[in-house]
């Protein structure tokens, strides 16, 4: 399939993990991909490998918590590929996340965390939407989590915010022919998850899943590409669980 031929797509947090898999999958279906990340070395490697594999990609450093950096990302994408058609707001503080309670987490850390994990998605969306609209519309996928529906401290709170942001932006941007949806993964087998979550807790989570295994980044690709593509042309404001049945609503 080549659902994204001649279209550009920004994937934030694409230097590794789930974001890297999204970027590679979009390129494999014809998209011109901007690999956006703070990690210059790894981000450039991902973009070079996509190009070596026959795709089209360029790296751009971005700090999603900084509106000026987000604006520069949009400008880079337009200069590189002529416009902006798709955005995946995947960047987050996760793999090196501090574990603490909402009641006790240091305020400076909490604000930094929310600046990336919640405000970052809004910053980048604000930076790109006018270019999307000028090109006739587009689509955005935000990375949520099933943590939004279970106790997960400030991480869960950020994902509750992502869900609300998705729904509110879907309304605000619908008139510009821009769709906004989110994916809510369950426990995913990544280096970041293993760094954050103790093995005993992971084992317990998996034992409670109807499909008794951890997910993989590849399990999320189909949902992401569907929501970005014209196949989902009448889908917006939706949070799609990809979670092995963890959350039943």
Catalytic (active-site) positions: 155
Token readout for 10 is: 């920004």
The CA–CA distances, whole Å, from 183 to 81, 131, 143, 201, 228 equal 26, 24, 5, 23, 11
What pairing do the DSSP bridges indicate for beta strands 32-37 and 8-12?
A: parallel
CB 166 within 8 A of CB 87: no
User: What are the φ and ψ backbone dihedral angles of 126, each rounded to 5 degrees?
Assistant: -60, -35
Q: What is the rounded distance in angstroms from the CA atom of residue 71 to the CA atom of residue 28?
A: 27
Q: What is the rounded distance in angstroms from the CA atom of residue 221 to the CA atom of residue 22?
A: 6
By three-state DSSP, how is residue 140 classified?
strand
Q: How far is CA 173 from the centre of its chain?
A: 18
CB 196 within 8 A of CB 94: yes
């Amino acid at each position: 399939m080549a659902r994204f031929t001649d279209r550009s797509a920004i994937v934030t947090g694409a230097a590794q993990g789930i974001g890297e898999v999204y970027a590679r999958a979009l390129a494999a279906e014809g998209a011109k991909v901007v690999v956006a990340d703070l990690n210059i070395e790894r981000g450039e490697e991902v973009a070079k490998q996509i190009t070596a594999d026959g795709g089209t990609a360029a790296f751009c450093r971005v700090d999603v918590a900084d509106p000026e950096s987000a604006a520069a990302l949009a400008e880079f994408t337009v200069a590189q590929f002529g416009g902006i058609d798709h955005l995946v707001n995947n960047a987050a503080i996760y793999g090196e996340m501090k574990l603490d309670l909402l009641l006790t987490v240091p305020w400076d850390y909490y604000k930094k965390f929310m600046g990336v994990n919640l405000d970052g998605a809004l910053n980048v969306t604000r930076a790109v939407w006018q270019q999307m609209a000028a090109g006739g519309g587009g689509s955005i996928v935000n990375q949520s989590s099933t943590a939004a529906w279970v106790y997960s401290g400030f991480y869960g709170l950020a994902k509750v915010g992502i869900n609300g942001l998705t729904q509110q932006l879907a309304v605000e941007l619908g008139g510009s022919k821009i769709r906004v949806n989110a994916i809510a993964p369950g426990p995913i087998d990544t280096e970041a998850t293993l760094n954050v979550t103790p093995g005993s807790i992971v084992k317990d989570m998996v034992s409670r899943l109807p499909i008794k295994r951890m997910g993989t980044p590849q399990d999320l690709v189909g949902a992401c590409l569907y929501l970005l593509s014209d196949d989902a042309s009448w889908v917006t404001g939706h949070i799609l669980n990809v979670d092995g049945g963890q959350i039943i609503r």
